[in-house]
Structure 1
Amino acid sequence: MKYIAIAFIVLGALGCNNEDSINGDDLFDDGEYQEAIDAYSSYLSTHPDHKKSIYNRGRSYEEIGDLQKAIDDYKQLLELDPKYINAYLSLAKVSYNNHEYNKVLIYTGDAIDLNENLAQAHFLAGRAEHQLGYFDQALESYNNAITINRDFGEAYLYRGAVKVGQEKLRSACEDFKFAKSLDVPEADKAIKDYCK
């Protein structure tokens, strides 16, 4: 009887902790990022290797602008699981926003090595290559993203921008119009500016 009582106490404690992780997910979905961080941190205090909670806490830190803590969580996650693709993609996004384009190429390259069919990884690589002035490589990366996901509107938009730089306006306008058909807001301005 004593062992059954202990088992219920242990299971109850685990259940409460699991609620912290689930509550963190709900809080994140509601845009309550600081509260989500607190819930994930509480759960991680007893489950330090729970990958989903580490990743989601990193996303929460990213949302409140605490990028270093987000980066720390993503890197911790990769130490636990070097194949956690979303951590590479998140590090690539943070690096892009920090104008660290060479780092973007490293992280997207790692993600593509794990799964070459990641449209988002090819797209982010294209954005970084575009910023670095590697226009042919950017075009290839955008093409790869579109080949994988034909409805990737932003890839059409930015591929069109590369084509503008290459003075291929007719082809660029086709991309801008396709981006518009996929509800990319910036496509209207691109069409207005370049497509007469």
Structure 2
Amino acid sequence: MGAGDNYGLRGFARWKLGDKKGALEDLNQALKINPEDSSLYGVRGDIRAGLGDKQGAITDYKQAIKQKSSSLIIFLPIEFRSDLDYVNAILKINPNDAEAHKSAGQIRFQQGKYKEAIADFDKVLTINPNDVEAYAGRGASRYKLGDKQGALADLTQAIKINPNHGEAYINRGGIRAELGDTEGGLEDKPSSQN
């Protein structure tokens, strides 16, 4: 274990104990010693975000993703994944990040921006045509815009991909009942109980 590891471990411990400024100092030192450690950038990004330094956090997350080949959204703490500014910053870095597009779609759905949410879910499905949550999210967005047939098609596709997706069954059952297919609606409701 080298000096960089020691600073990194102490910085992580300080962060977990709530000493964000001390943690930041240790992580800065650890990164001077070992600038190739992507996990240090991820933790420092979390600390900077917690201190309100959005740009610093984004810079660290960007550096972490350059060193790893996974979605940058995983480096964001849960509370920042619902912040469209952070998600858009990730998409500027990697426009093909399906998880970031999905987060953007979920945020826009919560904001009532259903057309924009559909566009985000469309991008997810272009990148990953088997993303169950994207079909479910797009289906919910289509339903909110009054496109019950489109919603039904998306929810059916989500169920084909994952027959255990209870929420998709519940939502599809409600739509089927609204469209006059009460028997189909009732069939879906018990399926969600499995």
Aligned to 2:50: 38
Matches within 5 A, 1:41-56: 44=57, 47-49=60-62, 50-51=64-65, 56=75
User: Does the CA contact (< 8 Å) of 2:121 and 2:138 recur in 1?
Assistant: yes
Aligned to 2:27: none
Q: Is it true that 1:132 corresponds to 2:145 in the alignment? A: yes
Aligned length: 159
Aligned to 1:21: 42
Deviation at 1:152, TM superposition (A): 0.7
Deviation at 1:53, TM superposition (A): 6.2
The one-letter amino acid of 1:141's match is D
Aligned to 1:144: 157
Cα distance, 1:24–1:172 mapped onto 2, change above 3 Å: farther
Cα distance, 1:36–1:164 mapped onto 2, change above 3 Å: farther
Aligned to 1:29: none
Provide TM-score, normalisation by structure 1: 0.69
User: Does the CA contact (< 8 Å) of 2:135 and 2:158 recur in 1?
Assistant: yes
Deviation at 1:20, TM superposition (A): 7.0
Provide TM-score, normalisation by structure 2: 0.69
User: What runs of 5+ residues in structure 2 fail to find an aligned partner?
Assistant: 8-29, 66-70
The one-letter amino acid of 1:148's match is I
In 1, Cα distance between equivalents of 2:43 and 2:77 = 15
User: What runs of 5+ residues in structure 1 fail to find an aligned partner?
Assistant: 1-7, 26-34, 182-196
In 1, Cα distance between equivalents of 2:94 and 2:111 = 25
Aligned to 1:104: 117
Cα distance, 1:150–1:138 mapped onto 2, change above 3 Å: same
Cα distance, 1:91–1:18 mapped onto 2, change above 3 Å: same
CA displacement 1:79-100 (0-9 Å, x = unmatched)? 1111111111101111111111
Task: Name whichever structure is richer in helix by fraction.
Answer: 1
**Aligned to 1:57, which of 69, 72, 76?**
76
In 1, Cα distance between equivalents of 2:132 and 2:39 = 33
Aligned to 2:193: 180
Deviation at 1:57, TM superposition (A): 3.0
User: Does the CA contact (< 8 Å) of 2:136 and 2:155 recur in 1?
Assistant: yes
In 2, Cα distance between equivalents of 1:54 and 1:143 = 28
Aligned to 2:134: 121
Cα distance, 1:75–1:143 mapped onto 2, change above 3 Å: same
What RMSD in Å do the two structures reach over aligned CA positions?
Answer: 3.2
The one-letter amino acid of 1:61's match is F
Identity over aligned pairs, percent: 20
